[in-house]
Structure 1
Amino acid sequence: MTTVTRLIAAATGAALLSACSTDGDAAAPSVAPVPSVSGAPAAPTASAGPVKAPDLTAEPETIATGIRVPWGLAFLPDGTALVAERQTGEVFQVGPGTGKRAVHRVDGVVTGGEGGLLGLAVAADHATTGWVYAYYTGADDNRIVRFTLTGGGEPEVIFKGLDRGGRHNGGRIAFGPDGMLYVGTGDAGDTPQSQDRDDPNGKILRLTPDGDAAPGNPWPGSPVWTLGHRNVQGLAWDAQGRMYGIEFGQDTWDEVNVIQAGKNYGWPEVEGKAGDERYTDPIVQWRTDDASPSGAAVLGDTLYVAALKGERLWTVPLGGGTAKAELTKKYGRLRTVATAPDGSLWLTTSNTDGRGDPYDGDDRILRFPA
C-alpha cells in the first residue's frame, strides 16, 4: 500500500472507529446506499408476495453433523443440498430429516492451510445435464471441475491454473441470474497479482458453463469480471440482479462490495473505504476481528454474511441503515450462508480446525426456517 493511500485509510479508520468496535457486541457499521448498476446480469424472476425473513432467535434445525470443515453448499432441484467437506474431498447430500450421505469424492484434492475442496455450484439445467461444479486445490493449482453424481468417468476440468497457496485460495463459485459461472479467487499471497488484469488471481471471474471467458466481459477474451481483490469467498445477487462480493481484509477492514463489471476494488493499494476515485469503495466494512467474512446470501432486502473470526452472522440492510450482528459466538466460526428454495436460511460452521476453542470438532449444518 502506498504512503498516501495508507494515510487515507488511516483517516477513514479513525472516522469510523466508533461505528466499528472490536468487541463482540457493539459493532454496528453503517451501510452506504447500494448504487444502481448498469450492464448487470439479468434480474431473476421476482417471487410472488413479500419475502419472510428467517427467525434467528428461534432454535435452528440441525441438518447434519460430523462433516470436517463444510465449505461449499449448493441446492439440488429437489430441495436437498450438496455440501463439500474441505478436508477430504467428499461431497455429501443432506436434507431436513435425512441426515447426510456421501454421493461423490473429488479426486486430486490436496489439503493444507486454507486449501482443499472449496466451492460447489449446481448447474441451472441440472435436471437435464446433471452437472455439479467444484472448485478445489490440487497438487499444482486451484481449478474448477464438473461432474455428475450418477455417471462414471473422470470429472471434466473446465478451468485451471489459479495459483494455490497456504492462504487466499478464494474458492466461492456460483451461477448468476444470467446463467454464467462466477468465481471468487484469491491472491494466493502474491499481492501484485490482484492488479494484473492478465492474471486470474485476486479477481472475480465470469465464465460460461463450459469454462470459457463469458461473452460480454469487460475485456473480450478475458475471464476477468473485476480486479483488485484480496480473497473473495462470498458471492450473492439481489432481486434487481445486483451482485455482491465479500472480501477478506488484511489487518484493518473487511468489505462488502457491489460488484460492477470492469471495476477495480483496490487491493493491495487500498483496504476498505479510501475515497480514491481509481477504486470502488465498499458499501460496508468491518474490523477484521468482527468479521473475516466468508459466505453470503440475499433474502428479501437483507444481505446475510457469515463471519469466521467474528463468530457471528451479519445482517446488512440493502435499503440503508446499519449492519447488525446476530448469533454472536453461539455456534463458533460461520463459513457459509445460503438461502434454500423453501425460503429457509442455512448455515455451515467451520470449527474442526484444531484451534482448541469450545466449538472445536463441532461442525454442523443449521437451518433457520422462514
Structure 2
Amino acid sequence: MRSRPTAAALAVAALLLTAGCSGGSGAPEDTGTSASASRTGGPSARAEHTPPAKGSVKVLRTVAEGLNTPWGLAPLPGGGGILVSSRDEGTITRVDEKTGKKTTLGAVPGVAADGEGGLLGLALSPAYASDHLVYAYFTTDSDNRVARMLYDPEKPAGEQLGAPDTVFKGIPKGLIHNGGRIAFGPDKMLYVGTGESGERQPAQDRKSLGGKILRMTPDGEPAPGNPFDDSVVYTYGHRNVQGLAWDGEQRLFAAEFGQDTWDELNAIEPGANYGWPEAEGKGGGPKYRDPLAQWHTDQASPSGIAYAEGSIWMAGLRGERLWRIPLDGTKASAEPQPFLKGEYGRLRTVVAAGGGRLWVTTSNTDGRGDPAKGDDRILELRVT
C-alpha cells in the first residue's frame, strides 16, 4: 500500500519552501507550454549545459488538493494562477498558486467523458496577453477536437469561459488512446498529441489523424513548413502521445504509451515514422525512429513531460513515479533516474514553473488509482 505525505511532512515541505525559495525567480511562461523559446548557442553551449548523471527532487509543498480527475495544466502569466482541466467534470478551474484557492471558470460544452476521454489538455494562446484565449482538447460524442474560449476573470465564477470556437475536429476517439496533450511551441504553432483510439491501423496511415503529432496554426490550418503537403500531420507511427516539451534549443520531445513491453520518450523530427504498430521500443529497423529512452510499462506508462535544468521530467501513471532523463542534444546523457516512487500514486501532468521548479498533478481519481485523503493534488517540486 503506498504511503502518503503526513501533515508533519507537509509542514516540513512548507518550511523548506519558505527557506529555500523565497529568493527564486521563475514566473510561469505565458504560453502554458513546458518549453523555452530561447537558444543557448552552438555545440559548445550544449556541452556546457549537459546535466550531471544524477539529480535530485524535493517536494516543496502541496499547491492544491481535492481536484477531480485533473488532466491539463496551463500556468497564467505573471503569477496569475494555474488553470486545470477536469477530465470527467468537463470544467476548467483556476488555482491560486499561493493560497490553493480554487475558482471554477465554467464547463466546456460538448465534452463527453467516457473511458480515457473527456476534457484533456490545455494551452494558452501565444497572444494571451492581448486575446485571453484558452485552448482545450476534448472528447465529444463523435470525435476529439480542439477549441478555444475567451477567459474573462471579471465575470462571476462559473461564467468566466466564453462559448467554444472549434479550431480543429475529426480526431478519432475511443474508450482508450485519445492522446490529448496540446502545447504551443517556440514557433507559436499549436502541437497536438493524438492516440490511435485503440485501433492499430490509423497510426501508419498519414491520411488519418490518429496516432500522430499534429502541427497547426492557432486557427487550425496546416502550419507552414509541415513535412506533408496541405496536412497537419507532423509525425506518425505513434500509439498514444500524452507528453510534449521543448528544450532550450527548441528541440521537441514526446512521450507515448507502449502496449505490453516498452513505453517511449522520443526526439521528434518532422515527417519521421515512430513505428507503431510495427515496432514498439528500440530495434524496429531502419524505417522507424528509435526512442531515446524506453521503460517497461509497469515502470512508466507516461503522460506529461516538461523540460527543466537540462533534463526531461516525465510523469508515470502506472509506474507511480517521476522520471528524470538528462539530455545531451537529442540523446540521453545518462540512465533515466526515478523519483517519488509510490509516494503520491499516479502522476499525470508536469509543467515547468521556472527557477528549477515543476508543478506536478496526481491522477488517482481517474478510475485506475487508489485515492487517498486530499487526492487529487498539484505538487510543487524543486529539481536539479
Pair in the same fold by TM > 0.5:
yes
Measure, in 1, the Cα distance between the counterparts of 2:39 and 2:288: 32
Aligned residue for 1:58, secondary structure, equals strand
Measure, in 2, the Cα distance between the counterparts of 1:167 and 1:360: 27
Residue 318 of structure 1 aligns with an amino acid whose one-letter code is L
The aligned counterpart of 2:179 is 170
Indicate how the Cα distance of structure 1 residues 341 and 125 shifts in structure 2: closer, same or farther if over 3 A, else same: farther
**Would you say 1:324 and 2:337 are equivalent positions?**
yes
Aligned residue for 1:197, secondary structure, equals coil
Say whether the 8 Å CA contact 2:242–2:255 is kept in structure 1: yes
Name the count of aligned residue pairs: 329
Indicate how the Cα distance of structure 1 residues 152 and 134 shifts in structure 2: closer, same or farther if over 3 A, else same: closer
Aligned residue for 2:58, secondary structure, equals coil
The aligned runs of 1:31-50 (5 Å cut-off) are 44-46=37-39
Residue 138 of structure 1 aligns with an amino acid whose one-letter code is T
**Would you say 1:187 and 2:196 are equivalent positions?**
yes
Question: Which of 121, 124, 134 is the aligned partner of 1:122?
Answer: 124
Measure, in 2, the Cα distance between the counterparts of 1:163 and 1:360: 36
TM-score scaled by structure 1? 0.84
Aligned residue for 1:158, secondary structure, equals strand
The aligned runs of 1:88-99 (5 Å cut-off) are 88-94=89-95, 95-99=97-101
Measure, in 1, the Cα distance between the counterparts of 2:58 and 2:98: 16
Return 5+ residue gaps in structure 2 as ranges. 1-34, 41-47, 153-159
The aligned runs of 1:56-95 (5 Å cut-off) are 57-79=57-79, 80-94=81-95, 95=97
The aligned counterpart of 1:102 is 104
Give the deviation of 1:356 after TM superposition. Answer: 6.5
**Would you say 1:271 and 2:280 are equivalent positions?**
yes
Indicate how the Cα distance of structure 1 residues 366 and 222 shifts in structure 2: closer, same or farther if over 3 A, else same: same
The aligned counterpart of 2:365 is 352
Aligned residue for 2:169, secondary structure, equals strand
Aligned residues with identical type, % of pairs: 52
Measure, in 1, the Cα distance between the counterparts of 2:94 and 2:127: 18
Residue 159 of structure 1 aligns with an amino acid whose one-letter code is F
The aligned counterpart of 2:156 is none
Say whether the 8 Å CA contact 1:104–1:149 is kept in structure 2: no
Say whether the 8 Å CA contact 1:69–1:350 is kept in structure 2: yes
Measure, in 1, the Cα distance between the counterparts of 2:98 and 2:296: 35
Residue 299 of structure 1 aligns with an amino acid whose one-letter code is A
Indicate how the Cα distance of structure 1 residues 332 and 72 shifts in structure 2: closer, same or farther if over 3 A, else same: same
Say whether the 8 Å CA contact 1:353–1:361 is kept in structure 2: no
Question: Which of 297, 304, 321 is the aligned partner of 2:306?
Answer: 297
The aligned runs of 1:238-277 (5 Å cut-off) are 238-277=247-286
Measure, in 2, the Cα distance between the counterparts of 1:51 and 1:101: 40
The aligned counterpart of 1:219 is 228
Residue 77 of structure 1 aligns with an amino acid whose one-letter code is P
Residue 323 of structure 2 aligns with an amino acid whose one-letter code is W
Measure, in 2, the Cα distance between the counterparts of 1:261 and 1:58: 36
Say whether the 8 Å CA contact 1:63–1:99 is kept in structure 2: no
Indicate how the Cα distance of structure 1 residues 258 and 52 shifts in structure 2: closer, same or farther if over 3 A, else same: closer
Return 5+ residue gaps in structure 1 as ranges. 1-41
**Would you say 1:154 and 2:158 are equivalent positions?**
no
Residue 86 of structure 2 aligns with an amino acid whose one-letter code is E
Aligned residue for 2:146, secondary structure, equals strand
